[in-house]
Structure 1
Amino acid sequence: MRLVLVALILGALGCSSSLASRPEDPGDTGPEPSNEEPSVPERASCTGLSEGPGTHEWTVSHAGRARTYRVHVPPGYDATRPTPTVVAFHGFGSNPEQLEVQTGLSTLADTEGFLVVYPRGLSAQEISGGTSPPRDNTRGWNAGACCGTAQMSNIDDVGFVDALLADLDTRVCVDPRRTFATGFSNGGFFSYRLACERAGRFAAVAPVSGMSPLNGCRPSRPVPVLHIHGTADTVILYEGGNNIPFGRAYPSAEDSVRSQAERNGCGGAVVETYRQGDSTCSAFTGCSPENATASLCTVRGGGHTWPGSPVSAGNPTQDLNATLEAWRFFQTRPRP
């Protein structure tokens, strides 16, 4: 019976029910930094880059593995001009193709003129030394508290992101001051981790249904955060918990945002910034710098879904478009 219950929980995350033994846990001290932050390139223009519009699949070597990522380049892209870039991390048991459809990010990118990068997490088979199809349902990220084999095996996914961005810089003209991260569920947890450990590269993050580390977050600069979450999410609980199989305890959505506000020195009032139907957003203000706000969008009765998604699974609210709100948030928050 216990195996069945765990399988059901994993299934809700879109995961495999294969169960691996967890290595000894050194304690819930939060994720350890992969290494020192790499230097961030500064550029006013690019030369010698020929990749054009369309969707590309690229591979980079990291830690002895071939790691892949998907990139959507919008029409009208100019290979000589630094272009805003959104890096989007799929949930546990999902993949880049599913996230691309779930979020509609590529469609918005075509209108707004930004690049979208969809990294692919490792599967349990790949971690153990085998191979697996692109849509293997055990894929995930080592986000500290979550999820699966990547977290249990302490995979250096932060280092993979470093390698990915370095490779990406040789292919397309990325604007280093306007590089952002978002993600769903396990991917949301991981975008919070990047805000802690790669604040020098990611200007702002927008996690959906993913929490911040309980502790151990020491960003090199204030990072604006837009957190989006449903109150009836039964997979990643709005009020926090420790219900993730083989995962660690995680804070509530409100505590995640409050902690980020404290890190960003936000001493002003909490103000409402959005209200429509079942959805409201509020922001901590008086931050340093002023635009380093920590904001929480709450969907009352919302489940484990991407708000505004064109995909009907889970009946996502249409009162809030998480993709559009994240992009609006990012546009006014370049890295200093």
Structure 2
Amino acid sequence: MIYRLISLLMLAASPAFSMGPWNTDCHGDTACEVGERSYHVLEPDGWDGETPLPVLLHFHGWARQGTVVVKHERIAGATKRRGVLLVAPNGLGKSWNFWASDTGDVGFADRVLDDVAKRYPIDPERVYVSGYSFGGAMAWRYVCQSGNDTAALLAVAGSIRQTETCPQAPGEVRHVHGLDDTVMDFPFGPGGDTTYPVALWREMYGCRSATPQGDWSVVPFLTLSRVEWTDCAIGQVTLDTHPGGHFIPHGWIGWQLDELLGETPAYP
């Protein structure tokens, strides 16, 4: 809620605030400091320095930092081409504490978004939360526990327990997981149910019927299968699965952003 207010106030400020990129002292490899912690940020290609930006808050995987995220072709490559501001917090010890609801990492990510809103004109209606592996689980934890509204969760190969109770939820959920993942094991449900990875959100949203959407791909060597729940009392849930292991599928983040932004999905 705080970053919403800050963003709106700044957009209403004098024209002098709209000159050039707002953030000049940190971006890319140079981290922005928030107290004793930090994050990385990357502007999209061709941004005019004035237009409010959708935001992708992406949590890095275990033993990584935000420097990897802002250089990663399957993450930064997607945001740069789509007019999306990429925000990559740095986890303590290159990891995240997503195991319990009282983690301090949620409050840290809130402060990161507050700081981003001071540096850039963000679109508060289009804040997307993403992550890979441990970062995927942290993204789940964040949208579950944060006091900030988020438009969508885009999680890759990582989640919290499906039996948890979340006090809040994002506008919609998109999750992808490999059936052969042995790092963050694919969470099969009873009887080998392959829709179980999003059971928490399906129950919270009041979803009833799963609608298979068939197979799709953006590269010839990887096919994903999609199931959607669109008859929910609130929100929408999308689950993509593939036969592979623990990785970010080529084009997946960009494809989701295109759909969320109302654009024709494209690769890269």
TM exceeding 0.5: yes
C-alpha separation in 1, matches of 2:225 and 2:55: 26
Per the TM alignment, residue 140 of structure 1 is displaced from its structure 2 partner at its CA by 0.6
Which residue is 1:327 aligned to?
A: 257
TM-score w.r.t. the length of structure 2 is 0.80
Greater helix content: 2
Q: Contact 1:211–1:253 (CA<8 Å) still a contact in 2?
A: no
One-letter amino acid of the structure 2 residue matched with residue 179 of structure 1: V
After TM superposition, give the deviation of residue 157 of structure 1 in Å: 0.3
Candidates 198, 202, 227, aligned match of 2:146 = 198
Corresponding residue number in structure 1 for 2:196: 255
Alpha-carbon contact 2:207-2:230 (below 8 Å) kept? yes
CA distance 1:253–1:167, change in 2 (3 Å): farther
Q: Report if aligned partners of 1:92, 1:185 keep a CA contact under 8 Å in 2.
A: yes
Distance 1:253 1:118 in 2: 30
Q: What is the CA–CA distance in structure 2 between the aligned matches of 1:60 and 1:91, rounded to whole Å? A: 20
| Counterpart amino acid of residue 68 in structure 1 | S
> Distance in 1 between the 2:108 and 2:150 partners?
15
- Counterpart selection for 2:64 from 94, 98, 117: 94
| RMSD across aligned positions (CA) | 2.9
Q: Does 1:142 align with 2:72?
A: no
2:31 aligned residue (52, 57, 63): 57
Say whether residues 1:287 and 2:252 are aligned partners.
no
CA distance in 1, matches of 2:4, 2:194: 30
Higher strand proportion? 2
Q: Secondary structure at the match of 1:43?
A: helix
Asked if 1 retains the 8 angstrom alpha-carbon contact of 2:69 and 2:76, the reply is no
> What is the CA deviation profile of residues 281-309 of structure 1, one whole-angstrom value per residue up to 9, with x for unaligned ones?
111121234xx221111111x1111111x
TM-score (structure 1 length as normaliser): 0.65
Partner of 1:18: none
Q: Residue 168 of structure 1 aligns with which residue? A: 116
Deviations 1:189-244 (A, max 9, x none): 01111221137422111110102333333243553111111111111111359xxx
SS in 2 for 1:168: helix
Asked if 1:305 corresponds to 2:247, the answer is yes
User: Which residue number corresponds to residue 217 of structure 1?
Assistant: 165
> In the aligned structure 1, how far is the partner of 2:242 from the partner of 2:90?
28
**Residues 228-243 of structure 1 aligned to structure 2 (within 5 Å):** 228-239=176-187
Tell me if the contact between 1:54 and 1:75 (Cα under 8 Å) persists in the aligned partners: no
- Whether 1:264 aligns to 2:202 is no
Structure 2 counterpart of 1:43? 8
CA contact (8 A) 2:27 2:40 kept: no
Measure, in 2, the Cα distance between the counterparts of 1:183 and 1:253.
21
Structure 1 CA distance for aligned equivalents of residues 197 and 116 of structure 2: 30
* Cα offset, 1:168, TM superposition: 1.0
- SS of match in other structure, 2:118: coil
Q: Unmatched 5+ residue regions in structure 1?
A: 1-36, 124-138, 146-150, 242-251, 309-320
CA contact (8 A) 2:162 2:199 kept: no
Residue 171 of structure 1 deviates from its aligned partner by: 0.5
CA separation of 1:288/1:105 partners in 2, compared to 1, >3 Å: closer, same or farther?
Answer: same
Query: Does 209-218 or 172-181 show the bigger shift?
Result: 209-218
Could you tell me how far apart the structure 1 residues matched to 2:227 and 2:81 are? 27
Partner SS, residue 70 of structure 2: helix
The one-letter code matched in structure 1 to 2:31 is E
Query: Contact between 1:46 and 1:173, CA under 8 Å: does it hold in 2?
Result: no
Query: Letter of the aligned partner of 2:51 in structure 1?
Result: R
For residues 155 and 200 of structure 1, the distance between their equivalents in structure 2, rounded to whole angstroms, comes to: 16
Does the 8 A contact of 1:226 with 1:329 survive in 2? Answer: no
Judge conservation of contact 1:46–1:79 (CA < 8 Å) in 2: no
The answer to whether the 8 A contact 1:226-1:295 is kept is yes
SS of 2:201 mapped into structure 1:
helix
Contact 1:274–1:282, Cα closer than 8 Å, also in 2: no
CA distance 1:197–1:103, change in 2 (3 Å): farther
How far is the alpha carbon of 1:54 from its aligned partner?
A: 6.1
